[in-house]
Amino acid sequence: MRSSMRSWHKSVAASGLVLLALTAVACTTGGTAAPTTGATSPTVSEAWVRPPQGMDRPAAGYMIITGGSSADALLSVSTTAAGMVEIHETTVDASGMAGMHPIPRLDVPAGGRVELRPGGYHLMLMQVVEGAIEVGKTVELRLTFEKAGEIVVQAEVLAG
């Protein structure tokens, strides 16, 4: 009886190994297994906000966005500290006049780096909630990306 049980266990174990080997071959050659791409989302660093320069004036937001493993785009930003946030670009025309205007999206290349800084791309936080954006405080910004979805960052309010 014991020898027949041992034979049965060996047979089941061998069948299991064969099944495991066939599964491994099917997954590596058949394409039926879900790919593991290791995709990463954009990351945000050095986020800060410049407070409004007077009553009923907008605040400005800056940061560095580093692209993930695939291209993405920043589509919108929101915060409870302001009624509206727009993504802006500063441009200089042929006569040397600088101006800024809202843009519908900010493309972030895969593995690339996009800086939001004074004189370039930046955020305009309008309809600022009284007392919400003062030096020394922190503002939560909710960035919505086309592919990565929402990324929440804490931005320190700094003078200058």
Q: Are residues 122 and 150 in the same domain?
A: yes
Q: Are residues 29 and 47 in the same domain?
A: no
Specify the 3-state DSSP secondary structure of 20: helix
- State CA 38 to chain mean position distance: 15
d(CA 147, CA 42): 10
Q: Are residues 145 and 107 in the same domain?
A: yes
Specify the 3-state DSSP secondary structure of 45: strand
Q: Are residues 55 and 122 in the same domain?
A: yes
Q: Are residues 58 and 124 in the same domain?
A: yes
Number of domains composing the chain: 2
Tokens read off for 71: 């291209």
State the residue range of the domain holding 115.
Answer: 43-157
Highest mean pLDDT among 25-34, 37-46, 51-60: 51-60
Specify the 3-state DSSP secondary structure of 63: strand
**Chain segment 121-155, per-residue pLDDT in tens:** 999 999 999 999 999 999 999 999 999 999 999 99
**Chain segment 50-103, per-residue pLDDT in tens:** 999 988 899 999 999 999 999 999 999 999 999 999 999 999 999 999 999 999
Name the average pLDDT for the chain.
83
Q: Are residues 31 and 51 in the same domain?
A: no
Q: Are residues 19 and 54 in the same domain?
A: no
Question: Strand 106-108 vs strand 149-157: parallel, antiparallel, or unpaired?
Answer: unpaired
* CATH number of the domain within which 132 lies: 2.60.40.1890
Q: Are residues 27 and 87 in the same domain?
A: no
